[in-house]
Chain A
Amino acid sequence: MSLFAGVSGGAADAASGGGTGRALLELTPHKMAVCQLVQVFAPPAQAGGDVVPPFPFESLAHHNRLGLFLFTLTRSCEDFLEPPLEEFLRQLKAVDNLANGWFCEQLTSSLSALNSPDDLFNFFDKLRGVLTAPEGASAEDVFLDPNSQLGVFLRCCILAFNSMTFEGVCHLLADLVMYCNSTDASYDLAEDEGFNSEMGNLMDADIDSQVGIFDKFHQGYASERHMGESSSALTRAPTSTYDFDDANIFKADDNPTCLRSRWQLEAYLNQQADILEKDPGSVPLNSFNATMTQLQTLAPELHRVQFLQYLNALCHDDYVASLDNLHRYFDYSAGMQGLFGRSVSQVQDIVVGKYESALLCLGNLHCYFGHPKKALEAFAEAVRVSQMNNDDSCLAYVLGAISNLLSKIGISNTVGIISSPYSLGTNIGLGTPLSIQQQLLVLLKRSLKRADALKLPSLLSFDHLSLAKFDLKHVQRPLVSFGPNASTKLRTCPADVIKNLRLGSRVLTDFGADVLSTSNDNGSFSTSWLRNLSAASDSWRRSSKNTKKLHINDFDNFHYHAQPSPVPAPILQLAGSAYLLRATAWEHYGSAPMVRMNALVYATCFADAARWEFHSELSLAYVKLIQQLAVFKGYSAAFCALKLAEKKFPSSTSLHIQLLGMQILHERALHRGHLKVAQQICDEFGVLSSSVSGVDIELKTEFSVRRARTLLAAKQFSQAAAVASSLFSTCYKYNMQVENASILLLLAEIHKKSDNAVLALPYALASQSFCKSFNLDLLEASATLTLAELWLALGSSHAKKALSLVYQSLPMILGHGGLELRTRAHIILAKCHLSDPKFSVLEDPEAVLDPLNQATEDLQALEYHEMAAEAYYLKAMAYNHLGKLDEREEAAARFKDHVTALENPQNEEDSLAY
């Protein structure tokens, strides 16, 4: 689902354009009402040069106010459903109460006076008078410019009327009568009839419950800052009194509502889609479907409704229904309206459709239901089709989905899933099947080339990022290596990664002004303005009662609550994820300051941009920062930060934060020696991942690692070794070499702890070589430390060698290592000295005591009993040698404290709380 968030948020650029060759607007009673008001605003025959505003207006400001109102009305005239007269009058009152309801009265009386087709003819004839300048008019005269917004609107209306057939005129008249008579019944009565009484009651109940839910939703997220796009702008304006909910679409209830334009309907659908994605539990399956069906009868051309039905079924785990709705949606809309364009263009010329996005969605569906193989088939087909149709944005998403899928699920090397000869194999001209990773690489590189050639900044940046991600974890072997000249360097190339990352984040600078200008004006402004008008007019009216400040320029009331962000969200998102990826890369390469820096950059610079959809990324940045805190500052600091983060991201919505909490708790429990708690948390990890094999690989890996470590702490070496080695074979199967480096190290650790240094040695060495080839510097230092320990364990004669190993790794560890690694290094250093037969404490006490002091200091924060006990033990030994008895006793006492704490764990329950 998170993947789809990207999809729906993305490609605002695709939505640009369109809407040029529209048909002339359709005349409705509402438009006639607007026309009537325009006539009041600019009455004909105002020759004479009086600058005073015409009759009903008290002041110029008042006049302008009506003008603004009309301007907005005409801007949002591309309506889907228009408000009934009653509601329109209510809106009008905001402008009207200066004229004591004159407008409303005038409007209703003139509209209801239209009783025959001939009246209509006269009405439009009179309108024409508004546009023509009277005889002898000078430039200062007040008359309507035919090329202004209002003028064009009037002309459109007149033209529409003139080109109408007599039948059309009759229809308009009938509609007008209905419009004027609709005092409390809904204007559009077709759908009111459609439901007989019991059904209607049922619907009402459902809608009521839904309204409740929406209220909750609004309260919960009202504080969210929002930028930009229509959906959030329209529906999450925090100060608005009137919630835009679906009940209003169907029933004219007591709440006055804003214009329900096509945009608002779209926005409504988008909002519903967002809710479905973020919090599917809050949407009841059946009533939502009923609402959607009703909407569909109202708007048969609005196929997005079917998409929402698909989403709804998906969220409620209804496989069959979601599949059906998906296919239906794309059958109808793929030819005309792509998934990515959020606007419905009226131009319905038949073009090659967006069938590739259908496949993308199908793939996501299968992903969601845990059918990775089917998902991959769908994605592979999507790649083929989007290449065929030159749909690069879709291609990008498909590739993203594939790499996401490949990282989430495991596909063993032997199965050639995307090995379809059409997509890849033949182009390389080799008969040998490629591994999944190689295929992914080829796909990415080709996509990159294409994006570069076509100047698609966002796809380019996406590809760079994906390549960086790929380079980070995979050794690039040349696909063809013949002969002696082909030298293969089996190492990853950090320079490549960083290069790609830099290129990837250049998207912001590449994003030129030309793209900016095409950001589509989708009418959200006008509608939001109207909303604010109705919201503001209330307060304005209230204030006007108390203080008679009537001539204030009330423009302040029209603050737009949603300014569009100058840079579209998807671009920002890409730029932001470059920083996140940088943090991850440095995490791998082992540079703590760089990790912190990049995560901080993201958290500070992109937190604003990180809209609702991108919360998971923001939470990831937080996770990285808190992890760093835990490693460098100890648990209490980390938990403080975690609490803050949890406030920001409720754990129900952010899996990242939830996992982080569990991770830190587990670490602390292990350190404190609270094995039961550790086991419990470990089990929770196991539950989180899906039971389908090959899915949630990362989570499963973490679970196994933690299980092995728990077993190790419980001194069940053989079991721990079994878990670790089975994990190793899984990771090997799924080609997860980076993980293997740490697993090998864990295996070495297990064997070391079980006093089997000889057995541990090959593991440690293997781990070291893995680290070298993947440039995992910090992990390599850690492996070197383990090696040193192993040499020490082999006998005191190897102390010298161990010492040199420790010295070798010390710069890296002291520069970038966390608390635990540093203390380990210090302790091992002391141990090396102590076990070296040629070394005498008396000669150089500082060489031992300094590191030990440092270690004990660091361990305070870490609450690591086992290591602390070891450090104090060594300290006591050293003091003993030096003959400092007091210090020795003190160290021994501390040693005893830690040992008892380790052996008799107390307050285990505390470990679960933070």
Chain B
Amino acid sequence: MAYAKETYRAELRAAARQLGERCLYSAAKWAAELLVGVEPDASPVPSAAMDTPSSSSATSAGRLLHLHRSGGSSFRHRPRPGGGTSSEAGTPLGGVSYVSTPIPDDDAFDSGGDKYLLAKTYFDCREYRRAAHVLQKQVGRKAVFLRCYALYMAGEKRKEAEMIELEGSLGKSNAVNQELVALEKELSTHRRTGSIDSFGLYLYGIVLRDKGCEDLARMILVESVNSYPWNWSAWSELQSLCTSSDILNNLNLKNNWMKDFFLASAYLELKMHEEALKRYERLMGVFRCSGYIQAQIATVQYSMRDLDEAEMKFEDLLRTDPFRVDSMDIYSNLLYAKESLTALSFLAHRVFLTDKYHPESCCIIANYYSLKGQHEKSVLYFQRALKLNRKYLSAWTLMGHEYVELKNTPAAIDAYRRAVDINPRDFRAWYGLGQIYEMMGMPFYALHYFRKSSYLQPNDARLWIAMAQCYESDPLQMIEEAIKCYERAANSNDTEGIALHRLAKLHGMLGQSEEAAFYYKKDLERMEVEERQGQNFVEALLFLAKHYKSIGRFEEAEHYCTRLLDYTGPEKENAKNMLQGIKRLQSGFPSMDTDHFAL
């Protein structure tokens, strides 16, 4: 084992301090949380000598930053320390050797140490321009970084304000961060002369990202994380720039253990759930108490539709960290899917009390109203969430759903389309678009969207079923294509069992009784396993009985007929007649009458 737990701790401790000193709050928070998440040794955790950003101003400043940085689809997850788990000793990460990066030692105060201190306090109070002004003539790397960062934050703050001043609605606005040009000029000069540290590189990366030079930004960020891997903000910026697995695989990253976190999160974003789960579970071995990892695992499980498992995880997480808001929207989605109203209302109440003006909170409340069937209110809260974070992907999609419920199709289309334009890999929004067009009586047009969504999520039976239903619809009547889609659905774990039944029916309609019988039989088996009975069950039995009788396999036919006798209704009479017919046939009296009964 290359890494001892104490090494992790030492690295994280230093990182949290260094990041905090540079006012990179969310990264510092992440590191600190993880530090506490390292599985405790026999001895109690030595108290970390670092200042967790606890003042309200610092947290909200971090959020402000986070608002701009999460250029990708979702929100970052920054769990609070999760203590109190009495788990067994973890196994070390086997077979992986990490490259250890020396912790840079920059604690030595340069000449302008006092001024730096002043600037940092200004920054903490969100007086960015003042902070930058104090550091104007300082040349130390730390001072330069903080000055640039303060300028960037000032520009962002102004941009936010301008956005509201100039437009205010949810539409696009051409407000830009006025500082970007100057910052880019300065940082690129520093980079060229080599007088830039990894924090500066990180800032340079986000400046470039904001200017739209994504390739260069990616390169710079890679440089930054390679020289200083503990800055989670840099990793997450990098991840938001990796929109496909090709890009991800072509990154030239040093094999630090932080890379595992990055990869796992990137895999989750790219819907490579298996890989993500594998990595998180391995990381769990070391950071056993980390709420972040726990939440991520639950998210993966939710995405893999493993609802019960994920719910347990979330409940656990809430128990240890009751004031958590991050990734609770996923939990609310889960509760929505499970239709557990009480739990959802409880969650909504809790986050409302914790932090009402948090996009995730609004989303949770909206989910609650949606489940209650109060869609207008739901839309209201989604709109609030989107006002807080315009790139909040799932809110756009969910708001689309609400508009669908409200029968406001143009608005729904608009919402979905925006979601898709923010992240073209969001299969739910594509699916929603398809659904709307299908509702509007345009099944052919809808096919395009269903095709998109099933391309992104090929193992989701619901998507294939939706597509098949389009093909099957009255205006199109493209049965063969529908059959193909249903086959895909049946092969990808169709929990509701629609596909098998429709497959059997369609084959029956096409007169392919052999195939129809095959699917009826499968459907029957499925229903038996799930102990479900009903019209479909009777239908399957009846068809199979008729089919086996017509091909002369009387024993099977008899079997199905006798099973049919358990039911009331016309099918019972039918089965009786059929049984008689079979008897007659078996006894070797070929008579004309039997045919009459058989039909």
List residues of chain B with CB within 8 A of the CB of A374. 444
List residues of chain A with CB within 8 A of the CB of B414. 331-332, 335
* Shortest CB distance B461–A (Å): 24
Whether A335 touches B410, Cβ cut-off 8 Å, given contacts A196-B213, A381-B475, is: yes
A145 at the interface (CB under 8 A from B): no
List residues of chain B with CB within 8 A of the CB of A334. 410, 413
List residues of chain B with CB within 8 A of the CB of A300. 171-172
A327 touches B477 (CB 8 A): no
> For chain B, what secondary structure do more than half of its interface residues adopt (helix, strand, loop), or is it mixed?
helix
* Shortest CB distance B108–A (Å): 36
- The interface size of chain A toward B, counting residues with CB under 8 Å, comes to 41
* Shortest CB distance B37–A (Å): 41
A301 at the interface (CB under 8 A from B): yes
B476 touches A377 (CB 8 A): yes
List residues of chain B with CB within 8 A of the CB of A199. 213
List residues of chain B with CB within 8 A of the CB of A381. 441-445, 475
List residues of chain A with CB within 8 A of the CB of B445. 355, 358-359, 362, 378, 381
B444 touches A377 (CB 8 A): yes
Whether A167 touches B476, Cβ cut-off 8 Å, given contacts A190-B176, A332-B414, is: no
A385 touches B442 (CB 8 A): yes
List residues of chain A with CB within 8 A of the CB of B484. none
B85 at the interface (CB under 8 A from A): no
Could you say which of B171, B181, B440 has the most chain A C-beta atoms within 10 Å of its C-beta?
Answer: B440
Whether A350 touches B475, Cβ cut-off 8 Å, given contacts A194-B211, A362-B445, is: no
Assembly CA distance A327 to B446 (angstroms) = 10
A815 at the interface (CB under 8 A from B): no
- The interface size of chain B toward A, counting residues with CB under 8 Å, comes to 36
B27 at the interface (CB under 8 A from A): no
Find residues 343-399 in chain A having any chain B CB closer than 8 Å to their own CB. Answer: 350-353, 355, 358-359, 362, 374, 377-378, 380-381, 384-385, 388
* Shortest CB distance A344–B (Å): 14
Q: Which of B161, B171, B211, B440 contacts A301 (CB 8 A)?
A: B171
List residues of chain B with CB within 8 A of the CB of A422. 474-475
Could you say which of B171, B172, B421, B475 has the most chain A C-beta atoms within 10 Å of its C-beta?
Answer: B475
Assembly CA distance A323 to B444 (angstroms) = 13
Assembly CA distance A454 to B458 (angstroms) = 48
Assembly CA distance A500 to B433 (angstroms) = 43
| Bitwise interface map of B from 168 to 188 toward A, beta carbon under 8 Å scored 1, else 0 | 000110101000110000000
B411 at the interface (CB under 8 A from A): yes
Q: Which of B166, B411, B448 contacts A323 (CB 8 A)?
A: B448
A506 at the interface (CB under 8 A from B): no
* Shortest CB distance A309–B (Å): 13
Assembly CA distance A171 to B174 (angstroms) = 13
Assembly CA distance A190 to B175 (angstroms) = 9
| Bitwise interface map of B from 296 to 317 toward A, beta carbon under 8 Å scored 1, else 0 | 0000000000000000000000
Residue of B nearest to A374 (CB): B444
B121 at the interface (CB under 8 A from A): no
Residue of A nearest to B446 (CB): A381
Could you say which of A332, A355, A384 has the most chain B C-beta atoms within 10 Å of its C-beta?
Answer: A355
Assembly CA distance A352 to B409 (angstroms) = 9
A385 touches B410 (CB 8 A): no
Q: Which of A327, A380, A423 contacts B448 (CB 8 A)?
A: A327
B477 touches A353 (CB 8 A): no
Assembly CA distance A297 to B443 (angstroms) = 32
List residues of chain B with CB within 8 A of the CB of A118. none
List residues of chain A with CB within 8 A of the CB of B416. 331
B417 touches A332 (CB 8 A): yes
A566 at the interface (CB under 8 A from B): no
List residues of chain A with CB within 8 A of the CB of B443. 381
Q: Which of B211, B411, B417, B444 contacts A328 (CB 8 A)?
A: B417
B449 at the interface (CB under 8 A from A): yes
B408 touches A380 (CB 8 A): no
* Shortest CB distance B434–A (Å): 11
| Bitwise interface map of B from 111 to 147 toward A, beta carbon under 8 Å scored 1, else 0 | 0000000000000000000000000000000000000
Sample of 6 more A-B contacts, CB < 8 Å, known A331-B416, A355-B437, A381-B444 = A171-B162, A327-B448, A331-B414, A350-B411, A351-B410, A378-B444
Query: Which residues of A are at the interface with B, using a C-beta cutoff of 8 A?
Result: 165, 167-168, 171, 190, 193-194, 196, 199, 297-298, 300-301, 323, 327-328, 331-332, 334-336, 350-353, 355, 358-359, 362, 374, 377-378, 380-381, 384-385, 388, 420-423
Q: Can you show 7 pairs from A to B with CB atoms below 8 A apart?
A: A331-B413, A332-B417, A335-B409, A352-B410, A359-B444, A380-B444, A422-B475
Query: Which residues of B are at the interface with A, using a C-beta cutoff of 8 A?
Result: 161-162, 165-166, 171-172, 174, 176, 180-181, 211-213, 408-411, 413-414, 416-417, 421, 433, 437, 440-445, 448-449, 474-477
